[in-house]
Amino acid sequence: MVVLIGMNAYFFGLFSVEALKAEGVDNVFGGGFVDALWWSFKHLLDPGAFSENYGAPLYVILFALFNSVMGLIITGALIGFIVSAIQTAMDNARVGAATVRERGHYLILGWNRKGAAILTLLAKLRVQERIVILTEHNLDALRTDLRQNARELRGLRVLPVQGAIGSSSELRRVASKYASHVLILAESQTGAQSDLTTIKALTLLTAAQEEQTQGTQLVAEIVSKDNVGIAQVASKYAHPIVSSSDFISKTMAQCARYPGYSAIYSELFASGDFVIDLFASPELEGVLFSEVATALNHAVVLGISWHQERGGKFRRVSVLNPEPDYDLGDGDELIILRRQDQIPELLMDEKVQILEQTRALNLERPNLSEVLIIVGNQNLGLMVRELLNHAAAELRVVVACKNASSEQKAFVQRFDSIDAARLNIEFVEFDLVESSGLERLTPQEFDVIFVSADESEAYIDADSRTMLILFLLQELKHRLGLEKFPPVVAELLNAESRDLCLETPMTDAVVSTELLSIQLAQLVRDPYLETLYNELLNAGGIEIGIRNISHYVEPGDRVSAGVLTQKALEFNETVLGFRRESGTIILSPDKQQSEHFEAGDQVIVLAQQVYL
């Protein structure tokens, strides 16, 4: 429009003899339309061209002035518009208001302290897809988490977005329908409220999935075990649901049964060095499990997996540690544990002893009958229930906490269904401020001591409290001159705290954030591992057992891991690896390489749990 107005200078003598004397007026094409357009356009884009009209008629100069001024206004507006658009885009990115146009991306809904650990594992697994995080929390905290783990997260493409995970419009904004993997994290660790949001998001995603042809792999974290059933209904039993409180309670109970369990569990699942994989080969048909368990090198055969049809739907069935005489058939695949960089090798020509019958391993089974829990938290009831599941006879539990009588009342109200005939539970007043109270509890007389993470007071770091109790236990042990002390299982929230407690009597640190994150990250990629994880932690099924080497080979002997595997198969056990007396853990050892075993060494096996 401005150019057209400027071209009107033509009618006011733009190409007159007078005007052509001016430096800035040209009639290259005979002073017609093209020359007028050029002149007008030049003044709009270049304000400096105005000075070249010196000597031209007044009206021409006025038109030149108009175009130059309008040019300045338009250029200014244009720059302002661009700056404003960039600013808006930056603000949107900062507050997480961006709209996602990804396909096949990873989507993390919700954010808590497990988030960074999950991203770390995804980085280790070299995930190339963009990872979109939708959370209702302020993104500054999330960005701080990312910044603190910047080195571990190198290579990941992360986009934080702010919004409610239980809103369908927000889920559309992050293209949840097109995500390949969705991981729902509890927005807070306080339970019910957070679970409601998670369940709503699950319902929305499950409904959206029904319209899709390509399925999204989804896993959800539920804080309270009581809400798992509802979450399963919301997800139409199609996706793994992980209860964080249940997981922590079960892991702590297992650590009490086998001191050192958490280190093995971490090495297996949290180190990122090992993967659980499926292995199939036509050579396997008709072969016994005991044969292939010994013959497959550079891997541990954990179990068998196959597809099964039930109610018109196919599901993958996974079974750990089957009987040695299980004959592999059509459709059977091996569940194997291997190092990331190892390629399994089937050595079927190896001479393998065929096992006709297994026998019982005569060993002292872990049995807990007296338990001290220092500082109960919201997982107390679940932990007591889990300990009861593992207890062969009566169980005495002493809970040392603040406001003992009200805690006891709350416990009885909430867990009235707990097997009261076998449980003798007592709540004792204990406050960290009065440290001498610890000695009165006589912790040295219990079978195991649990120190739970206490997050009841926001201004005191839970790990600091736990560490203080551990130091007090250490001081007590030292002061009383005790050589033997019960195993101490501590719940920590931060992996770095574990290293600070090495000089304390702590035998196991359950870093819930670390272990649970790994499970969530693996389940979203391989949902069939859900039954495997559940089985390893549940009472009454298959467990990770830690046995003295003398049950399998004579201490001082030099044998290969293959021979050790065969020996364990006689007891229907699968060798995962071994732990040296020094504490070094060796998993998935080379089956052909000979190892020298000493009396203090232990074998790590998968075995059926037995209670005596």
The alpha-helical segments, DSSP class H, found in 403-539 are 404-414, 437-440, 462-479, 495-499, 512-525, 529-537
Select from 211, 309, 349, 356 the one that contacts other proteins (CB under 8 A): 356
* Piece in contact with other proteins (CB under 8 A), picked from 77-85, 97-105, 161-169, 324-332: 324-332
- Residue 76 interacting with other proteins (CB under 8 A): no
Q: Which of 59, 178, 326, 485 binds other proteins (CB under 8 A)?
A: 326
Tell me the Ramachandran region of residue 442: left when phi exceeds 0, alpha when psi lies from -120 to 50, beta otherwise: left
Please report, for the chain, how many H helices and E strands are present, in that order.
20, 24
The footprint of other proteins on residues 570-599 (CB under 8 A) is 572
CB of 600 to other proteins, least distance (A): 25
Q: Does residue 280 bind other proteins (CB under 8 A)?
A: no
Strand blocks (E) in 98-167 = 106-109, 131-135, 158-162
Shortest spacing between CB 357 and other proteins, in angstroms:
5
For residue 415, state whether it binds other proteins (rule: CB under 8 A).
Answer: no
CB of 605 to other proteins, least distance (A): 13
End-to-end CA distance of the chain: 94
Cα dist. 268→307, 502, 519, 576 in Å? 25, 21, 11, 9
Rounded alpha-carbon distances, angstroms, from residue 485 to 152, 157, 481: 37, 48, 10
The answer to the question of residue 367 lying near other proteins (CB under 8 A) is no
Helix (H) or strand (E) holding 372: strand 370-374
Q: Which is nearer to other proteins, 360 or 433 (CB)?
A: 360
Task: Output the smallest distance, CB 325 to other proteins, in A.
Answer: 6
What are the b/e assignments for 181-193, b being 16+ CB within 10 Å? bbbbbbbbbebee
**Stretch of 52-60, 230-238, 355-363, 460-468 contacting other proteins, by CB under 8 A:** 355-363
Min dist. Cβ of residue 159 to other proteins (A): 39
Binding of other proteins at residue 215 (CB under 8 A)?
no
Which one of 100, 218, 296, 319 is in contact with other proteins (CB under 8 A)?
Answer: 319
Nearest distance in Å: CB 596, other proteins: 31
Contact set for other proteins, span 526-565 (CB under 8 A): 531, 535, 540-542
Q: Is 155 in the site for other proteins (CB under 8 A)?
A: no
The reply to whether 308 sits near other proteins by the rule CB under 8 A is yes
Q: Which is nearer to other proteins, 7 or 228 (CB)?
A: 228
Say if residues 305 and 528 touch (Cβ distance below 8 Å): yes
| 7: CB partners within 8 A, 6+ apart | 33, 36, 37, 39, 40
In the complex, least distance from residue 388 CB atom to other proteins, rounded to whole angstroms: 13
Q: Using CB under 8 A, which of 152, 323, 407, 439 touches other proteins?
A: 323
Report in angstroms how near the CB of residue 228 gets to other proteins at its nearest: 15
User: What is Dmax (Cα atoms) for the chain?
Assistant: 119
Q: How far is the CB of 304 from other proteins (least distance, A)?
A: 8
Give 268's DSSP letter. Answer: I
Backbone angles phi, psi at 260, to 5 degrees: 100, 0
Q: Let me know: does 297 contact 591? Beta carbons within 8 Å.
A: yes
Stretch that binds other proteins, among 71-79, 130-138, 174-182, 321-329 (CB under 8 A): 321-329
Can residue 358 be called a binding residue for other proteins (CB under 8 A)?
yes
Residue 572 CB: number of other CB atoms within 10 A? 22
Chain Cα centroid distance, residue 169: 26
Give the nearer residue to other proteins in terms of CB position, either 101 or 310: 310
Residues of this chain that bind other proteins (CB under 8 A): 304, 306, 308, 317-320, 322-323, 325-326, 329, 356-360, 365, 531, 535, 540-542, 572, 608, 610, 612
